[in-house]
Homo-oligomer: A and B are copies of this chain.
Amino acid sequence: GFQGKVIPIHHKEDEILGFKAYTSIEQVPDSVDLAVIATPTEYVNNILDGLGQNGVRHSIVLSGGFLEAGNQKGQEEMKNIGEKYNMKIMGPNCSGEVVAPDINITHVPWPPRKGGASIISQSGTYAVQPLIAISEKIGLGISKIVSVGNEVNTDLVDFLEAFEEDKDTNCIGIYFEAVRRGKKFIEVVERLNLEKPIVIIPIGQTDAGTRSAKSHTAAITSPGYIIDSICEQTGAVRVKNSIDMLNLLNAFDSLPLPKGNRVGILTMGGGPGTLMSDLLESNDMKVPVLSDELQDKLKPWMPETASTINPIDLTYSDDMQNYLNILPDILLQSDEIDSLIIYGLMGSEYHKNLVNVPDFMKNNSSVQTMKSFGDMMQDFFIAIFDELISYKEKFNKPVILTCYNTRREKFVAYLQDHGIPVYYPEEGIWILIWMWQYSKFIQWKKKADKISG
Protein backbone atom coordinates (compact mmCIF):
# COMPACT_ATOMS: atom_id res chain seq x y z
CA GLY A 1 0.00 0.00 0.00
CA PHE A 2 0.80 3.69 -0.22
CA GLN A 3 3.48 4.59 2.34
CA GLY A 4 3.03 8.37 2.35
CA LYS A 5 0.79 10.43 4.58
CA VAL A 6 -2.87 11.15 3.81
CA ILE A 7 -4.35 14.28 5.34
CA PRO A 8 -8.10 14.92 5.11
CA ILE A 9 -9.39 18.49 5.23
CA HIS A 10 -13.06 18.90 6.09
CA HIS A 11 -15.08 21.88 7.26
CA LYS A 12 -16.55 20.07 10.26
CA GLU A 13 -15.41 16.43 10.74
CA ASP A 14 -12.26 16.02 12.86
CA GLU A 15 -11.62 12.42 11.83
CA ILE A 16 -12.20 10.73 8.45
CA LEU A 17 -11.71 6.96 7.99
CA GLY A 18 -9.41 6.99 11.02
CA PHE A 19 -7.22 9.86 9.78
CA LYS A 20 -7.05 13.08 11.79
CA ALA A 21 -8.79 15.79 9.77
CA TYR A 22 -8.04 19.52 9.64
CA THR A 23 -10.45 22.32 8.80
CA SER A 24 -8.09 24.17 6.43
CA ILE A 25 -4.73 23.93 4.70
CA GLU A 26 -3.25 26.57 7.07
CA GLN A 27 -3.56 24.17 9.98
CA VAL A 28 -1.76 21.28 8.27
CA PRO A 29 1.72 21.02 9.82
CA ASP A 30 3.30 19.00 6.97
CA SER A 31 4.23 20.20 3.53
CA VAL A 32 1.82 18.83 0.93
CA ASP A 33 2.92 17.27 -2.40
CA LEU A 34 -0.50 16.89 -3.97
CA ALA A 35 -3.95 18.19 -3.09
CA VAL A 36 -7.15 16.48 -4.24
CA ILE A 37 -10.27 18.62 -4.30
CA ALA A 38 -13.76 17.14 -4.24
CA THR A 39 -16.13 19.84 -3.00
CA PRO A 40 -19.15 21.67 -4.41
CA THR A 41 -18.15 23.91 -7.32
CA GLU A 42 -18.48 27.21 -5.45
CA TYR A 43 -15.70 26.37 -2.94
CA VAL A 44 -13.11 25.07 -5.38
CA ASN A 45 -11.32 28.26 -6.42
CA ASN A 46 -11.09 29.59 -2.83
CA ILE A 47 -9.55 26.32 -1.76
CA LEU A 48 -7.07 26.39 -4.67
CA ASP A 49 -6.04 29.90 -3.73
CA GLY A 50 -5.45 28.81 -0.13
CA LEU A 51 -3.39 25.86 -1.32
CA GLY A 52 -1.32 28.14 -3.55
CA GLN A 53 -0.63 30.54 -0.65
CA ASN A 54 0.54 27.61 1.45
CA GLY A 55 3.02 26.33 -1.11
CA VAL A 56 1.07 23.47 -2.69
CA ARG A 57 2.12 23.20 -6.36
CA HIS A 58 0.09 20.20 -7.64
CA SER A 59 -3.68 19.75 -7.44
CA ILE A 60 -6.30 17.42 -8.83
CA VAL A 61 -9.77 18.96 -9.10
CA LEU A 62 -12.41 16.24 -9.27
CA SER A 63 -15.27 18.75 -8.92
CA GLY A 64 -17.22 19.67 -12.03
CA GLY A 65 -19.47 22.62 -12.78
CA PHE A 66 -16.96 24.65 -14.81
CA LEU A 67 -16.62 25.09 -18.58
CA GLU A 68 -18.53 21.87 -19.31
CA ALA A 69 -21.52 23.43 -17.51
CA GLY A 70 -21.15 26.81 -19.20
CA ASN A 71 -19.25 28.32 -16.24
CA GLN A 72 -16.50 30.00 -18.24
CA LYS A 73 -15.80 32.57 -15.52
CA GLY A 74 -15.08 29.91 -12.90
CA GLN A 75 -12.69 28.09 -15.17
CA GLU A 76 -10.82 31.29 -16.14
CA GLU A 77 -10.45 32.18 -12.48
CA MET A 78 -8.97 28.72 -11.87
CA LYS A 79 -6.54 29.24 -14.73
CA ASN A 80 -5.42 32.54 -13.19
CA ILE A 81 -4.88 30.93 -9.80
CA GLY A 82 -2.72 28.28 -11.47
CA GLU A 83 -0.64 30.98 -13.14
CA LYS A 84 -0.36 33.12 -9.98
CA TYR A 85 1.12 30.29 -7.89
CA ASN A 86 2.75 28.32 -10.70
CA MET A 87 0.45 25.45 -9.68
CA LYS A 88 -0.20 22.48 -12.01
CA ILE A 89 -3.89 21.58 -11.93
CA MET A 90 -5.32 18.33 -13.33
CA GLY A 91 -9.00 18.81 -14.20
CA PRO A 92 -11.41 20.28 -13.24
CA ASN A 93 -14.24 17.81 -13.94
CA CYS A 94 -11.94 14.79 -13.94
CA SER A 95 -11.92 11.34 -12.38
CA GLY A 96 -8.48 11.45 -10.82
CA GLU A 97 -5.52 9.19 -11.40
CA VAL A 98 -4.04 5.79 -10.71
CA VAL A 99 -0.36 5.07 -10.12
CA ALA A 100 -0.31 1.30 -9.83
CA PRO A 101 -0.23 -0.46 -7.53
CA ASP A 102 -0.37 1.95 -4.60
CA ILE A 103 -2.14 5.16 -5.53
CA ASN A 104 -5.74 5.21 -6.69
CA ILE A 105 -7.34 8.65 -6.50
CA THR A 106 -10.60 7.66 -8.20
CA HIS A 107 -14.02 6.51 -7.08
CA VAL A 108 -13.58 3.04 -8.63
CA PRO A 109 -11.93 0.80 -6.07
CA TRP A 110 -10.64 -1.99 -8.31
CA PRO A 111 -6.90 -2.32 -7.85
CA PRO A 112 -5.17 -2.91 -11.19
CA ARG A 113 -2.18 -5.18 -11.50
CA LYS A 114 1.11 -3.29 -11.86
CA GLY A 115 2.34 -3.32 -15.45
CA GLY A 116 3.55 -1.15 -18.28
CA ALA A 117 0.41 0.30 -19.87
CA SER A 118 -0.49 3.93 -19.21
CA ILE A 119 -3.77 5.53 -20.19
CA ILE A 120 -4.65 9.19 -20.76
CA SER A 121 -8.35 9.84 -20.97
CA GLN A 122 -10.43 12.84 -21.95
CA SER A 123 -13.36 10.90 -20.51
CA GLY A 124 -13.44 10.40 -16.77
CA THR A 125 -15.56 7.31 -17.14
CA TYR A 126 -13.21 5.73 -19.66
CA ALA A 127 -10.31 6.50 -17.34
CA VAL A 128 -11.68 4.48 -14.49
CA GLN A 129 -14.60 2.23 -15.43
CA PRO A 130 -12.55 -0.19 -17.55
CA LEU A 131 -10.67 -1.04 -14.35
CA ILE A 132 -13.55 -3.41 -13.74
CA ALA A 133 -13.06 -5.16 -17.09
CA ILE A 134 -9.33 -5.25 -16.47
CA SER A 135 -9.86 -6.98 -13.18
CA GLU A 136 -12.56 -9.44 -14.36
CA LYS A 137 -11.41 -10.42 -17.83
CA ILE A 138 -8.46 -8.63 -19.38
CA GLY A 139 -5.75 -8.68 -16.72
CA LEU A 140 -3.99 -5.67 -18.22
CA GLY A 141 -1.00 -4.45 -16.17
CA ILE A 142 -1.29 -0.73 -15.47
CA SER A 143 1.44 1.81 -14.84
CA LYS A 144 -0.55 5.06 -14.76
CA ILE A 145 -4.04 6.27 -15.57
CA VAL A 146 -4.86 9.96 -15.79
CA SER A 147 -8.21 11.60 -16.37
CA VAL A 148 -7.51 15.07 -17.80
CA GLY A 149 -11.02 16.57 -17.51
CA ASN A 150 -11.38 20.16 -18.78
CA GLU A 151 -7.57 20.56 -19.12
CA VAL A 152 -7.38 23.96 -17.38
CA ASN A 153 -3.55 24.14 -17.36
CA THR A 154 -2.32 20.57 -17.99
CA ASP A 155 -3.44 18.70 -21.09
CA LEU A 156 -3.17 15.49 -23.08
CA VAL A 157 0.15 16.57 -24.55
CA ASP A 158 1.72 17.25 -21.13
CA PHE A 159 0.93 13.75 -20.00
CA LEU A 160 2.20 12.22 -23.23
CA GLU A 161 5.49 14.00 -22.64
CA ALA A 162 5.54 12.78 -19.05
CA PHE A 163 5.00 9.19 -20.20
CA GLU A 164 7.79 9.61 -22.75
CA GLU A 165 10.18 10.08 -19.81
CA ASP A 166 8.52 7.49 -17.57
CA LYS A 167 10.54 4.27 -17.42
CA ASP A 168 7.55 2.28 -16.15
CA THR A 169 5.41 3.10 -19.20
CA ASN A 170 5.82 0.72 -22.15
CA CYS A 171 2.76 1.64 -24.19
CA ILE A 172 0.04 4.28 -24.09
CA GLY A 173 -3.70 4.32 -24.64
CA ILE A 174 -5.56 7.55 -25.38
CA TYR A 175 -9.31 8.12 -25.10
CA PHE A 176 -9.34 11.07 -27.46
CA GLU A 177 -12.16 13.60 -27.60
CA ALA A 178 -10.46 16.78 -28.80
CA VAL A 179 -7.04 18.29 -28.95
CA ARG A 180 -6.27 21.82 -27.84
CA ARG A 181 -2.67 21.90 -29.19
CA GLY A 182 -2.98 20.01 -32.48
CA LYS A 183 0.44 20.52 -34.02
CA LYS A 184 2.30 19.73 -30.81
CA PHE A 185 0.09 16.65 -30.27
CA ILE A 186 0.96 15.22 -33.69
CA GLU A 187 4.65 15.97 -33.18
CA VAL A 188 4.76 14.18 -29.81
CA VAL A 189 2.70 11.18 -30.97
CA GLU A 190 4.89 10.81 -34.06
CA ARG A 191 8.09 10.73 -32.02
CA LEU A 192 6.80 8.75 -29.06
CA ASN A 193 5.01 6.07 -31.10
CA LEU A 194 8.38 4.90 -32.47
CA GLU A 195 9.44 3.86 -28.96
CA LYS A 196 6.19 3.20 -27.12
CA PRO A 197 3.17 2.03 -29.13
CA ILE A 198 0.20 4.39 -28.90
CA VAL A 199 -3.39 3.17 -29.22
CA ILE A 200 -6.08 5.79 -29.83
CA ILE A 201 -9.81 5.46 -29.45
CA PRO A 202 -11.59 8.56 -30.69
CA ILE A 203 -14.84 9.67 -29.09
CA GLY A 204 -17.37 12.02 -30.68
CA GLN A 205 -17.38 12.03 -34.49
CA THR A 206 -21.07 12.14 -35.29
CA ASP A 207 -23.80 14.68 -34.58
CA ALA A 208 -24.95 12.90 -31.46
CA GLY A 209 -21.38 12.21 -30.40
CA THR A 210 -20.40 15.84 -30.78
CA ARG A 211 -23.47 16.98 -28.87
CA SER A 212 -22.65 14.57 -26.11
CA ALA A 213 -18.98 15.51 -25.95
CA LYS A 214 -19.78 19.21 -25.72
CA SER A 215 -21.74 18.80 -22.52
CA HIS A 216 -19.11 16.37 -21.33
CA THR A 217 -15.78 18.18 -21.17
CA ALA A 218 -16.67 21.31 -23.13
CA ALA A 219 -14.62 19.88 -25.96
CA ILE A 220 -15.10 20.77 -29.60
CA THR A 221 -14.61 17.31 -31.02
CA SER A 222 -12.43 16.53 -33.98
CA PRO A 223 -14.09 14.76 -36.89
CA GLY A 224 -13.10 11.14 -37.47
CA TYR A 225 -11.13 11.77 -40.63
CA ILE A 226 -8.71 14.00 -38.72
CA ILE A 227 -7.92 11.23 -36.26
CA ASP A 228 -7.61 8.82 -39.19
CA SER A 229 -5.01 11.09 -40.79
CA ILE A 230 -3.12 11.55 -37.53
CA CYS A 231 -2.94 7.76 -37.08
CA GLU A 232 -1.85 7.25 -40.66
CA GLN A 233 0.92 9.82 -40.34
CA THR A 234 2.18 8.77 -36.92
CA GLY A 235 1.56 5.01 -37.02
CA ALA A 236 -0.55 5.15 -33.87
CA VAL A 237 -3.15 2.37 -33.92
CA ARG A 238 -6.78 3.44 -34.04
CA VAL A 239 -9.35 1.06 -32.57
CA LYS A 240 -13.10 1.37 -32.24
CA ASN A 241 -14.01 0.08 -28.84
CA SER A 242 -12.71 0.17 -25.34
CA ILE A 243 -12.18 -3.56 -24.89
CA ASP A 244 -10.05 -3.72 -28.04
CA MET A 245 -7.92 -0.89 -26.68
CA LEU A 246 -7.34 -2.65 -23.37
CA ASN A 247 -6.62 -5.97 -25.10
CA LEU A 248 -4.15 -4.36 -27.48
CA LEU A 249 -2.32 -2.48 -24.74
CA ASN A 250 -2.07 -5.78 -22.92
CA ALA A 251 -0.36 -7.34 -25.94
CA PHE A 252 1.99 -4.37 -26.51
CA ASP A 253 2.97 -4.46 -22.85
CA SER A 254 3.57 -8.23 -22.71
CA LEU A 255 4.80 -9.41 -26.07
CA PRO A 256 7.62 -8.85 -28.56
CA LEU A 257 6.43 -7.41 -31.89
CA PRO A 258 5.81 -9.80 -34.81
CA LYS A 259 8.53 -9.39 -37.43
CA GLY A 260 6.32 -10.61 -40.25
CA ASN A 261 2.72 -11.52 -41.02
CA ARG A 262 2.94 -15.34 -40.90
CA VAL A 263 0.90 -16.86 -38.09
CA GLY A 264 0.97 -20.40 -36.74
CA ILE A 265 -2.31 -21.60 -35.27
CA LEU A 266 -2.18 -24.47 -32.80
CA THR A 267 -5.69 -25.57 -31.91
CA MET A 268 -7.77 -28.19 -30.12
CA GLY A 269 -10.77 -27.36 -32.27
CA GLY A 270 -11.33 -27.19 -36.00
CA GLY A 271 -14.02 -24.49 -35.93
CA PRO A 272 -12.02 -21.84 -34.09
CA GLY A 273 -8.93 -22.76 -36.17
CA THR A 274 -10.91 -22.20 -39.35
CA LEU A 275 -12.54 -18.96 -38.24
CA MET A 276 -9.25 -17.56 -36.95
CA SER A 277 -7.61 -18.44 -40.31
CA ASP A 278 -10.40 -16.67 -42.19
CA LEU A 279 -10.05 -13.51 -40.14
CA LEU A 280 -6.26 -13.46 -40.51
CA GLU A 281 -6.22 -14.07 -44.25
CA SER A 282 -8.92 -11.44 -44.83
CA ASN A 283 -6.71 -8.88 -43.06
CA ASP A 284 -3.24 -8.90 -44.59
CA MET A 285 -1.96 -11.85 -42.52
CA LYS A 286 -0.92 -15.33 -43.65
CA VAL A 287 -1.54 -18.78 -42.18
CA PRO A 288 1.15 -20.49 -44.27
CA VAL A 289 1.20 -24.18 -45.17
CA LEU A 290 4.13 -25.58 -43.20
CA SER A 291 7.04 -27.26 -44.99
CA ASP A 292 7.12 -31.07 -45.10
CA GLU A 293 10.22 -31.01 -42.88
CA LEU A 294 8.48 -29.01 -40.20
CA GLN A 295 5.32 -31.15 -40.42
CA ASP A 296 7.47 -34.26 -39.97
CA LYS A 297 8.95 -32.77 -36.79
CA LEU A 298 5.47 -32.10 -35.41
CA LYS A 299 3.86 -35.45 -36.21
CA PRO A 300 5.42 -37.63 -33.49
CA TRP A 301 3.89 -35.35 -30.83
CA MET A 302 0.37 -35.36 -32.20
CA PRO A 303 -2.54 -37.82 -32.35
CA GLU A 304 -2.95 -39.70 -35.64
CA THR A 305 -6.22 -37.92 -36.41
CA ALA A 306 -4.49 -34.53 -36.16
CA SER A 307 -3.67 -32.13 -38.97
CA THR A 308 -0.16 -30.67 -39.25
CA ILE A 309 -0.62 -28.33 -42.22
CA ASN A 310 -1.53 -25.10 -40.33
CA PRO A 311 -3.82 -24.64 -38.54
CA ILE A 312 -2.15 -27.39 -36.58
CA ASP A 313 -5.28 -29.08 -35.27
CA LEU A 314 -4.79 -31.69 -32.57
CA THR A 315 -8.52 -32.50 -32.78
CA TYR A 316 -8.19 -33.63 -29.18
CA SER A 317 -5.36 -34.60 -26.89
CA ASP A 318 -4.97 -34.59 -23.16
CA ASP A 319 -1.20 -34.45 -23.29
CA MET A 320 -0.73 -30.84 -22.22
CA GLN A 321 3.03 -31.04 -22.36
CA ASN A 322 2.99 -31.89 -26.05
CA TYR A 323 0.33 -29.27 -26.65
CA LEU A 324 1.72 -26.34 -24.71
CA ASN A 325 5.47 -27.01 -24.62
CA ILE A 326 6.87 -29.36 -27.26
CA LEU A 327 4.75 -28.33 -30.27
CA PRO A 328 5.02 -24.55 -29.60
CA ASP A 329 8.77 -24.97 -29.14
CA ILE A 330 9.15 -26.70 -32.54
CA LEU A 331 6.89 -24.16 -34.26
CA LEU A 332 8.48 -21.03 -32.80
CA GLN A 333 11.98 -22.35 -33.44
CA SER A 334 11.22 -22.69 -37.15
CA ASP A 335 11.63 -19.71 -39.45
CA GLU A 336 8.22 -20.41 -41.00
CA ILE A 337 6.04 -18.40 -38.63
CA ASP A 338 6.32 -14.96 -36.99
CA SER A 339 3.76 -15.42 -34.24
CA LEU A 340 1.83 -18.23 -32.60
CA ILE A 341 -1.77 -18.33 -31.49
CA ILE A 342 -2.97 -21.24 -29.37
CA TYR A 343 -6.61 -22.15 -28.91
CA GLY A 344 -8.32 -24.44 -26.54
CA LEU A 345 -7.61 -24.65 -22.84
CA MET A 346 -10.37 -25.35 -20.38
CA GLY A 347 -8.38 -25.43 -17.17
CA SER A 348 -9.32 -26.49 -13.71
CA GLU A 349 -12.91 -25.24 -13.44
CA TYR A 350 -13.48 -27.82 -16.16
CA HIS A 351 -12.46 -30.61 -13.82
CA LYS A 352 -14.36 -29.06 -10.95
CA ASN A 353 -17.50 -29.03 -13.07
CA LEU A 354 -16.85 -32.54 -14.26
CA VAL A 355 -17.30 -33.74 -10.71
CA ASN A 356 -20.46 -31.72 -10.24
CA VAL A 357 -22.41 -35.00 -10.20
CA PRO A 358 -25.61 -36.12 -8.49
CA ASP A 359 -25.40 -36.74 -4.75
CA PHE A 360 -25.64 -40.50 -4.93
CA MET A 361 -22.43 -40.57 -6.98
CA LYS A 362 -20.41 -38.35 -4.66
CA ASN A 363 -18.55 -41.17 -2.93
CA ASN A 364 -18.03 -43.22 -6.02
CA SER A 365 -14.33 -43.97 -6.41
CA SER A 366 -14.11 -42.92 -10.09
CA VAL A 367 -15.56 -39.54 -9.15
CA GLN A 368 -13.07 -39.22 -6.32
CA THR A 369 -10.23 -40.00 -8.72
CA MET A 370 -11.44 -37.35 -11.12
CA LYS A 371 -11.71 -34.87 -8.27
CA SER A 372 -8.14 -35.31 -7.10
CA PHE A 373 -7.07 -35.25 -10.75
CA GLY A 374 -8.66 -31.80 -10.95
CA ASP A 375 -6.69 -30.60 -7.92
CA MET A 376 -3.49 -32.08 -9.28
CA MET A 377 -3.98 -30.34 -12.63
CA GLN A 378 -3.36 -26.96 -10.98
CA ASP A 379 0.31 -27.56 -10.16
CA PHE A 380 0.87 -29.53 -13.30
CA PHE A 381 -0.51 -26.70 -15.43
CA ILE A 382 1.69 -24.12 -13.77
CA ALA A 383 4.89 -26.00 -14.67
CA ILE A 384 3.75 -26.23 -18.29
CA PHE A 385 2.73 -22.56 -18.35
CA ASP A 386 6.08 -21.39 -16.97
CA GLU A 387 7.83 -23.13 -19.85
CA LEU A 388 5.36 -21.65 -22.37
CA ILE A 389 5.77 -18.18 -20.88
CA SER A 390 9.54 -18.39 -21.44
CA TYR A 391 9.15 -18.98 -25.21
CA LYS A 392 8.15 -15.45 -26.18
CA GLU A 393 11.52 -14.21 -24.89
CA LYS A 394 13.48 -17.24 -26.04
CA PHE A 395 12.27 -16.97 -29.64
CA ASN A 396 11.38 -13.25 -29.57
CA LYS A 397 7.98 -13.91 -31.15
CA PRO A 398 4.49 -13.15 -29.81
CA VAL A 399 2.55 -16.03 -28.26
CA ILE A 400 -1.17 -15.54 -27.56
CA LEU A 401 -3.55 -17.96 -25.89
CA THR A 402 -7.27 -17.97 -26.71
CA CYS A 403 -10.18 -19.61 -24.94
CA TYR A 404 -13.60 -18.73 -23.57
CA ASN A 405 -12.62 -18.27 -19.95
CA THR A 406 -12.37 -15.12 -17.84
CA ARG A 407 -10.08 -14.49 -14.89
CA ARG A 408 -12.50 -16.44 -12.71
CA GLU A 409 -10.51 -19.40 -14.01
CA LYS A 410 -7.15 -19.49 -12.23
CA PHE A 411 -5.11 -20.50 -15.27
CA VAL A 412 -6.26 -17.37 -17.10
CA ALA A 413 -5.14 -15.12 -14.27
CA TYR A 414 -1.83 -17.00 -14.01
CA LEU A 415 -1.00 -16.64 -17.70
CA GLN A 416 -2.11 -13.00 -17.90
CA ASP A 417 -0.18 -12.07 -14.76
CA HIS A 418 2.95 -13.64 -16.22
CA GLY A 419 2.79 -11.98 -19.60
CA ILE A 420 0.83 -14.31 -21.89
CA PRO A 421 -2.32 -12.47 -23.00
CA VAL A 422 -5.51 -14.55 -22.99
CA TYR A 423 -8.42 -13.55 -25.25
CA TYR A 424 -11.57 -14.93 -26.85
CA PRO A 425 -10.49 -16.58 -30.15
CA GLU A 426 -11.48 -13.83 -32.59
CA GLU A 427 -10.29 -11.08 -30.23
CA GLY A 428 -6.83 -12.62 -30.28
CA ILE A 429 -6.73 -12.46 -34.07
CA TRP A 430 -7.47 -8.74 -34.14
CA ILE A 431 -4.69 -8.18 -31.62
CA LEU A 432 -2.21 -9.90 -33.95
CA ILE A 433 -3.49 -7.89 -36.92
CA TRP A 434 -3.01 -4.57 -35.10
CA MET A 435 0.39 -5.59 -33.71
CA TRP A 436 1.55 -6.40 -37.23
CA GLN A 437 0.17 -3.08 -38.55
CA TYR A 438 2.21 -1.27 -35.92
CA SER A 439 5.32 -3.38 -36.45
CA LYS A 440 5.19 -2.89 -40.25
CA PHE A 441 4.88 0.86 -39.83
CA ILE A 442 7.85 1.01 -37.47
CA GLN A 443 9.98 -1.11 -39.80
CA TRP A 444 9.06 1.14 -42.73
CA LYS A 445 9.55 4.34 -40.76
CA LYS A 446 13.00 3.38 -39.50
CA LYS A 447 14.06 2.43 -43.01
CA ALA A 448 12.65 5.68 -44.43
CA ASP A 449 14.37 7.79 -41.75
CA LYS A 450 17.67 6.05 -42.49
CA ILE A 451 17.43 6.85 -46.20
CA SER A 452 16.32 10.45 -45.72
CA GLY A 453 18.74 11.03 -42.79
**B278 & A203 in contact (Cβ 8 Å cutoff):** yes
**Chain B neighbourhood of A260, CB < 8 A:** none
A28 at interface by CB-CB < 8 Å: no
A-B pairs with lowest CB-CB distance, top 3:
A123-B271, A125-B269, A216-B270
**Chain B neighbourhood of A305, CB < 8 A:** 64-65, 69
**Chain B neighbourhood of A110, CB < 8 A:** 353
In the complex, the chain B residue whose C-beta lies closest to that of A362 is B18
**B16 & A126 in contact (Cβ 8 Å cutoff):** no
Stoichiometry, copies per complex = 2
* A190 shortest CB reach to chain B, Å: 25
Which residues of A, 285-303, contact B by the 8 Å Cβ criterion? 286-287, 289
Cβ 8 A contact of A206, one of B136, B216, B278, B289: B278
Cβ 8 A contact of A216, one of B125, B215, B274: B274
**Chain B neighbourhood of A309, CB < 8 A:** 211-212, 215
* 5 residue pairs from A and B, CB less than 8 Å apart: A18-B361, A208-B311, A215-B270, A242-B272, A243-B427
Cβ 8 A contact of A405, one of B1, B136, B177, B209: B136
**B240 & A137 in contact (Cβ 8 Å cutoff):** no
**A109 & B242 in contact (Cβ 8 Å cutoff):** no
Taken residue by residue from 237 to 263, chain A's Cβ proximity to chain B (1 for < 8 Å, 0 otherwise) reads as 000111100000000000000000000
Taken residue by residue from 14 to 31, chain A's Cβ proximity to chain B (1 for < 8 Å, 0 otherwise) reads as 001110000000000000
Interface centre among A268, A357, A404, A408 (most CB of B within 10 A): A404
**B346 & A275 in contact (Cβ 8 Å cutoff):** no
A277 at interface by CB-CB < 8 Å: yes
Which residues of A, 207-253, contact B by the 8 Å Cβ criterion? 207-209, 211-213, 215-217, 221, 240-243
A336 at interface by CB-CB < 8 Å: no
A322 at interface by CB-CB < 8 Å: no
In the complex, the chain B residue whose C-beta lies closest to that of A241 is B426
A333 at interface by CB-CB < 8 Å: no
Can you add 12 more A-B contacts, CB < 8 Å, to A206-B281, A208-B281, A406-B408? Answer: A109-B356, A125-B269, A132-B346, A132-B405, A136-B404, A136-B409, A201-B275, A206-B278, A211-B277, A213-B270, A216-B270, A241-B279
**Chain B neighbourhood of A108, CB < 8 A:** 346, 350
CA distance A425 to B213 in the complex (A): 16
**B274 & A213 in contact (Cβ 8 Å cutoff):** yes
CA distance A286 to B206 in the complex (A): 10
**B274 & A406 in contact (Cβ 8 Å cutoff):** no
CA distance A208 to B269 in the complex (A): 15
**Chain B neighbourhood of A109, CB < 8 A:** 350, 353-354, 356
Which residues of A, 113-158, contact B by the 8 Å Cβ criterion? 121-126, 129-133, 136-137
**A270 & B124 in contact (Cβ 8 Å cutoff):** yes
**Chain B neighbourhood of A321, CB < 8 A:** none
CA distance A206 to B132 in the complex (A): 37
A59 at interface by CB-CB < 8 Å: no
CB within 8 Å for A203 and B271 given contacts A208-B287, A279-B240: yes
CB within 8 Å for A270 and B404 given contacts A201-B275, A275-B201, A361-B17: no
* A122 shortest CB reach to chain B, Å: 8
Cβ 8 A contact of A311, one of B212, B289, B361: B212
In the complex, the chain B residue whose C-beta lies closest to that of A283 is B206
